[in-house]
Amino acid sequence: MTSIQDKIRTLKREKNAVILAHFYQTMDIQEVADHVGDSFELARRAQETTGDTIVLCGVRFMAESAKILNPQKTVLLPAPDAGCPMADMVTPEDVRALKAQYPDAAVMCYVNSSAAVKAECDICCTSSSAVRVAKSLKEKRVIFVPDQNLGAYVASKVPEKEFILFHGFCPIHHHVAASDVKASKAAHPDARVLVHPECTMEVLELSDYVGSTAGILEYVSKSKDSEFIIGTEMGVVERLRQTAPDKIVYLLSPRLLCPNMKKTRIEDVLKSLENGVYEIKLPENELKDARACLERMVAVQ
């Protein structure tokens, strides 16, 4: 326990603040968080919190989601330049053009999107809820933005619907190749391969399990197997080495590092609490429309 962590814990109590951290954050930040989770869990926790201030240790779209669900609370993003390349690939104008082209389709957006994009969509989803959300829609045709890979995975699980996929992707997961999986399996033949659905279908088809970060963590903790190849951001491997020390975990590819998720440092969290920076503010109309999109997701069981 460091002195910085001690100061953060003290300030949390004094300011009635709640720290929410994604699994991809560094372990020193996860250790001071009140809740650590994937995007769905963080959205749910943000909606439930009684704190006056939410400090979101992740990337901007996550902090925006916390603000959307808690418009009356102060939401802080310790690293203001922590963005998401996938979220930046789709604009509200893109969504409006797709809606005009396919007026009978429901518009489903991945949580990895801006508040302005969510405001144009019917319902949001995370990687852990995407299949359930798609099945809940009454429409037979679904526009899915922005991740083509998650969209293709959902389409394979919900064949009764037609999916119109946008061309976005996560640069970290998208560039993992089938050859990476084959090489890892050759090096560790007894290991199970667990991958995130932001990877391409060629990678998913070679895996033993496809799931969200939370799903991958749960799979390892409950599995009777002892070795695992992890195909998502390296923060999950770091967490597993702490929470499941009896298991052997390997990172599928050294390229699985999200520079934006690593922009937040423990010093930034302290500064954010001390000075109230950097606050997320969104236009009222955007908050209202995006909130309906997110709340529909949270309501899907």
What is 86-171+289-300's CATH superfamily? NadA-like (3.40.50.10800)
- Give residue-wise pLDDT tens across range 189-219: 999 999 999 999 999 999 999 999 999 999 9
Closest listed residue to residue 213, CA positions, set 150, 295, 166: 150
Residue 250 burial (CB count, 10 A): 14
102 has a pLDDT exceeding 60: yes
Q: What crossing angle do the helices spanning 266-275 and 3-15 adopt, rounded to 10°?
A: 30
Looking at residues 268-290, what average pLDDT do you find? 97
Q: Do the two domains 4-82+261-281 and 86-171+289-300 of this chain adopt the same fold?
A: yes
Helices marked H in 119-250: 130-136, 148-157, 171-174, 178-187, 201-204, 213-222, 234-243
CATH T-level fold of 176-251: Rossmann fold (3.40.50)
Q: Does the domain at residues 4-82+261-281 carry the CATH identifier 1.10.10.60?
A: no
Please tell me the predicted confidence (pLDDT) of residue 23: 94
Angle CA(146)–CA(151)–CA(153) in degrees, nearest 5? 150
Closest listed residue to residue 43, CA positions, set 35, 31, 51, 53: 35
| Residue carrying the six token digits 């199970």 | 192
112 has a pLDDT exceeding 80: yes
> In the chain, where are the structural domains located?
4-82+261-281, 86-171+289-300, 176-251
